[in-house]
Each structure stands twice: as C-alpha cells, then as structure tokens.
Structure 1
Amino acid sequence: MAGPPRATPLTPGSWRIAVIGCAVLLLAACSAAPLSSTPSPEDPAPAVGECHVLDRPEHFAVLSDTSPTVECGAEHTTETYMIGDLASVTRFSGRYPALEERLDISEQACSGSVVRAYVGANDRQALYGLSSMAFLPTPEQWATGERWVRCDLVMVGSETEAFWPVGVESAFRDAAASGNADPLLRCYTGDADVRCSEPHTSRDINMWIPQTSEPSELEIVQQCVPAATEWGTLTGRTVEGVSGVLHTESNGGLTLRCVVTEDADVAQ
C-alpha cells in the first residue's frame, strides 16, 4: 500500500481496467463545491462489500460520500472493505475532522491487514496499486451521533505519480485468491515496479528484508530462497530463478525485495 491515498475484490472472469480521466491529490486542501446530493440523517450506514463510482476531483475534496452504490460487477472505483470507528483515531477530539486529517484517519481506523484478508492475498503475494481511503458520516449524520469510518479500497494507476483512480469491473473481495489475481500484484521490469498484468521480468514474493549494506548475489539468493520455495508451494508453479530488487527507502535505508522468475514471466 503506497502513496498519499490508501485504498480490493476480483472474481474469476473479466478484469478490465480503465484509467479515469482525473488526477486527484488526496491531501490537497482544495476547495470544491459540495456534491449535489444532500443526505438526510436517516440515510443508511455503509456496509462492507458495497461499491461506488467516484471519478471526479470533487468526490475526494470532501470527507463524506453520498453517492449511490453500484454493482461491483459493473464499473466502479471504490469498494468498502471494512467499517472502522473514529474512537480508534488517537487524534480525534470529538469535533468533525478536517479534510487534511483524512490520512491520519485512514492509517488508524482502516487496517492494512484487513485489506490482505479481504482480497484473499497469501503471505507470498505482494499487492500493488491499492489505496485505502476513509469516508466519514455527513455533518447531518454526525449530528445524530454516527461515528463510523467507511474504509474503501481504490486501485491507482501508479504508486509514485499523482493519484489517479482506476475504474474496474470486478470485485476486490478474494480477488488475489482467484485465477486472475495479477492486476492486484506487484512485479518488476528490471527494478521498476509494475502491475503483474503488465509485461514484467520478475515477480515480488512479499519478502522485504532490511540490509545494512549492499548484499552480494549469493547473499541475495540465500536470503530469498526460503520465501521462493514457499511461493512455489503456495502457487504450485515452478520457480525458474531467485533474485532480488534493491530498493532505497525514503530514509536512506536499503531493502532487499525478493523476487522469482518463472516461464510465464520470462515469456512476457
């Protein structure tokens, strides 16, 4: 999970992706007109598994969302994977939060471990391009005492560029456990991160090991072989090669990301 936004369910069958034509910076203190729909306090609370189409900048310039739900098999951009509680946010003071507090709320009320369980990811699957975004009750609902946090998954086009929501036509729930998981998974072309549904040369096996110095090729293999063996067991696929991608963190630290190659990867 990466980038300013945070945000998952694929079902077997079609998994089509279309980038929605808008760039949104989640934490920007942008001003936008309120959305046209104004809910009443009686509007139902959100539920896990509901999907929405949020494809305009103003959708992300407010903390609440009153858009109607859509079928997750139809094109959508967000899917609710858990309902959190504002009481779990340590900075919450009882007042209605400000837009710039969305990231803190998402980090504390929307669990990353729940994301992995929701999409059905096993220990050796590294997720790519999924963000978790928090939505709160409207001011009207707030006035009636509602304090839930709607935690939605959003697929983004890139983890390193401006936030672009991606339209999908399959549910995220248990997607990583399906036969069409690659759009959710992290692969590499050389040392560049890409979605596994795109051409790639190696596959991340979700074993990231901090390093104190640059390891030799032998040391990389020694550190990564146990995870690669587990990956082969979990997937039933043959490991053609074991290696690693060295990644420099924002704090200057060095991380070894273990990867495998297989016939299907080389063919791409």
Structure 2
Amino acid sequence: MIRSIRLIVMLAAMIALGSACGARPDEALPTYQATEGTCYVRETAEEMLSLSNVSPWVNCDYPHQLEVYGFGTLPEEVITAPDRPSNALERLQAADVCPWAEIREYLGAREFDYQFGISVWSKYPTQKEWAGGLRTVVCSLGVQDPQYPESRPEFSGSLRNIMERTQSAAVRLCRSGETTTTCDQAHDAEMTGSVPIPQGGAQARLDVAFEACTPVIAQYTADAPPEDFVIKPLVNDESADCWYGPTSGTTTGTIRGGLT
C-alpha cells in the first residue's frame, strides 16, 4: 500500500483555511484562540520551524501555507512539566502528537481516495501560555510541491472536504513513470484503489489484479471511465495497487467520479 499522506517530522507552523474570531487579519493569533479551519501565513522559514504560533491569520480564500484541522495530545511526561520543555518539544514529531484518522475525515476522503503532497505540522503553546496551564497541540495541514518536498508553497481555498471537489486533483496521488506526483500535474496513471491478491505465479497474480481492479475503477470513476485508458496494476506481496491511466502519453486532472 502506498502511504497517502507524507508527514513532515519538523515541528512547525500554524495556518489554515478558515477565518478566526477575535483578532484582526494582521495580528498573531494565540494558540488558545486557534479553531478548526483557521488559516495562517508564515512569512519566513524560521516562522515555519517555530514551535509556537506567532503568525497572522487570514481568510482562507487568500494565499496561506497552513490550515488547522484538529488538535493533538502531548505525552504525559511532557504535559506535567511545570516549565515549557523546549528540548522535549523539539524532539517530538507531528506523527507523535497529531491525530492521523482525523485528516481523512477533514479532507472528505472516501474509500479509494488517496491523498498526496500534504504535510502535517504541529504547534505548541508559547512559554507564557504554558505557564498559564495551556497544553493544547494545534495540528495543521499544508501542501507541498512534489518536485520539491521541502517547499512550503502558498495555496488558496480550504482543504476541508477538498476530496469531494474537482480541485482535489491538487492533492490526489498520481504517477509519471516511476515518479509520484499530484494529479494536477502531467501524469500517466492515477491511484484508484488497492485489492488483495492471492499467492501464485507472477502472470497469474497479474491476471487476478486486472480482474480485481476492474470493479474498483468502475466505482472510482462512477461508472464513467475515460476512453483510451487502461489498467496499470502494480502487484505487491499480498495486494495490487489499481493504477489507471491513458494508453499512451500523459494527462492532467483527476478521473474520480461524482465530484462537484
């Protein structure tokens, strides 16, 4: 199986696709005021790597880098520290403290939806907030340029339920040759699902993969597969990934059916 979201292990920023109440757009938003759907602008690399929120919020229709999708929990030994344990926080990764399951729900992902090029950032209380008893971890989503994994590009519009819209091509998993990319870029296959495959000879397993992937692709495209597309299965140890793409050349956009 291809892991559909790449986690950024650096502790980072707070930004999101929604507006927050109680502050002007040019003001920093305290950690305790962060809400799901809040969007932020990070102006420098140092801000992106800052452990605490110091960035201004913006309306999510405007360019920003991060969007709050939920809140996480710190380890018990960190929570009970009377003084803000900066060294311990620096060692934590977003995967350690931010809820994984909530990401797909926030994105509106359904069965066979595969996200790509989305990073997860964790944000901790400032020293003053910590002294006041706040232990909230703010968890945000950002996007990446697949060609430049360390990039922190700006994007406009909310990621909330994006997998239900045609704009999801920007965060769907596709490939160009052996290189994974997002579906808004030129690609020759799109990931449509994964199916279990029994053990056996290589050709027999490939034949099973073609047959098993057919109904998956029908569901993925809402029974409207594009013309001149073929199944391009990738057989693994116990399963097959159902890639689907043009017979020749490349395409852009997603073939996911039922989008608005």
Give the TM interval when normalised to the shorter protein. 0.7 to 0.9
Q: What are the within-5 Å matches in structure 2 for residues 173-212 of structure 1?
A: 173-207=160-194
Q: Which letter does structure 2 place at the counterpart of 1:232?
A: T
Q: Percent identity?
A: 19
Per-residue CA deviations over 1:213-236 (Å, capped at 9, x if unaligned) read: 884331331343342232133xx5
Q: Count how many residue pairs are aligned between Structure 1 and Structure 2.
A: 229
Cα drift, residue 9 of structure 1: 8.4
Q: Which residue of 2 aligns with 1:68?
A: 56
223-232 vs 118-127, which moves further: 223-232
Q: Which residue of 2 aligns with 1:22?
A: none
Structure with higher RCO (Cα < 8 A, 6+ apart): 1
Q: Which residue of 2 aligns with 1:109?
A: 97
Instruction: Give the Cα separation in 2 of the matches to 1:257 and 1:206.
Output: 6
Q: Which residue of 1 aligns with 2:67?
A: 79
Secondary structure of the equivalent of 2:217? helix
Q: Which residue of 2 aligns with 1:229?
A: 218
Q: Which residue of 1 aligns with 2:138?
A: 150
Per-residue CA deviations over 1:120-149 (Å, capped at 9, x if unaligned) read: 122111101001111011011011111111
Per-residue CA deviations over 1:228-256 (Å, capped at 9, x if unaligned) read: 232133xx531642222357xxxxx7874
CA RMSD between the two structures: 3.6
Per-residue CA deviations over 1:187-212 (Å, capped at 9, x if unaligned) read: 11123211100111111124276897
Cα drift, residue 67 of structure 1: 1.0
Return the match for 1:261 from 245, 257, 260: 245
- TM-score in terms of structure 1 length: 0.71
**Structure 2: runs of 5+ lacking an equivalent:** 19-26, 253-260
Secondary structure of the equivalent of 1:122? coil
Distance 1:44 1:147, change over 3 A: closer
Per-residue CA deviations over 1:42-99 (Å, capped at 9, x if unaligned) read: 874311000011242211332111212111100000000012232xx36646332534
Instruction: Give the Cα separation in 2 of the matches to 1:9 and 1:212.
Output: 45
Secondary structure of the equivalent of 1:116? helix
- TM-score in terms of structure 2 length: 0.73
Q: Which residue of 2 aligns with 1:245?
A: 234
Do the aligned residues in 2 keep the contact of 1:9 with 1:119 (CA within 8 Å)?
no
Cα drift, residue 178 of structure 1: 1.2
Distance 1:230 1:114, change over 3 A: same
Do the aligned residues in 1 keep the contact of 2:17 with 2:37 (CA within 8 Å)?
no
Instruction: Give the Cα separation in 2 of the matches to 1:54 and 1:163.
Output: 15
Instruction: Give the Cα separation in 2 of the matches to 1:76 and 1:174.
Output: 17
Instruction: Give the Cα separation in 2 of the matches to 1:129 and 1:2.
Output: 7
Distance 1:221 1:151, change over 3 A: same
Do the aligned residues in 2 keep the contact of 1:121 with 1:177 (CA within 8 Å)?
yes
Do the aligned residues in 1 keep the contact of 2:125 with 2:136 (CA within 8 Å)?
yes
